[in-house]
Amino acid sequence: MEKIDEHKSFGGWQQRHTHASKVCGCDMTFSLYLPPAAETAIVPVVYWLSGLTCTDENFPNKAGAQEIAADLGIAIVAPDTSPRGDDIADDAAYDLGQGAGFYVNATAAPWSRHYQMYDYVTHELPQVLAEGFADQLDLAREAIAGHSMGGHGALVIGLRNPDRFAAISAFSAICAPSAVSWGEKAFSTYLGDDKQAWLDYDATALMHAANNPKALPPIRLEQGLADGFLDEQLAPEQLEAAARQTGARLEVNRRKGYDHSYFFIASFIEDHLRFLARHLGA
């Protein structure tokens, strides 16, 4: 692992690191905010998963999260959204290929060679953090959050690992990807035509299929009503219906006038970090 950037921020440090990933078969980059508390104690971790076309830099540069993370004493880890490189499969469309990994383990060629983002986020990245920041990060206290495609990733990873993540936060999430064109395009490309396999990466389906839905991590979902993708791509009402039917803990906040942008995220990130910190015991 190599530190490639660092800036002092609200008493802590905003950093970027790169490392060789065995899971993805390429170098991967992640951003990390270490609050001031990490200088004297180990602190809980929030993973932030970004959306289509984003990198690890969008959230730390645009969300304005460092001040509240410093106050709460939580670290924020923001991985990249896909493998990248000249020899890695890509597509000309913005919603497929590099920058659009959808946080799945691809099974279809040529994507399966590198696009193993689920395993990267859930297994390899935490191992890298444990090895590099053992005296600063408490990886027994984790929560997960994200935006759009990353909101989908946060929901899926949190719901598939309910004993690990204390809470889930999502902005403008793709809540039922198997039923919308973004998800159908990505899943058919990365996973093939077996739609049953898609359900392993569909938050609404996972909630319905949970053995004990009431024991799933609590979820906070923020949705702007002026979001141009709301009607065709996001389907929060499907996740809401699943929560009502199963008893899973879901809070949905619909915000009049807000869209899909980081202006929306910056407006409510403090509320979400406080929600996650409360469940992390921070």
Residues with a known catalytic role: 148, 227, 260
Which residues is 251 bridged to in the sheet? 220
- Count of CB atoms situated within 10 Å of the CB of 119: 15
Q: Is 225 exposed, middle or buried (0-12, 13-18, 19+ CB in 10 A)?
A: exposed
Phi, psi at residue 112, to the nearest 5°?
Answer: -65, -20
CA-to-CA separations, 208 to 37, 164, 204, 236, 238, in angstroms, rounded? 39, 19, 6, 14, 11
Rg (C-alpha) for the chain, rounded Å, is 17
Phi, psi at residue 69, to the nearest 5°?
Answer: -65, -40
The rounded distance, in Å, linking the Cα atoms of 109 and 251 is: 38
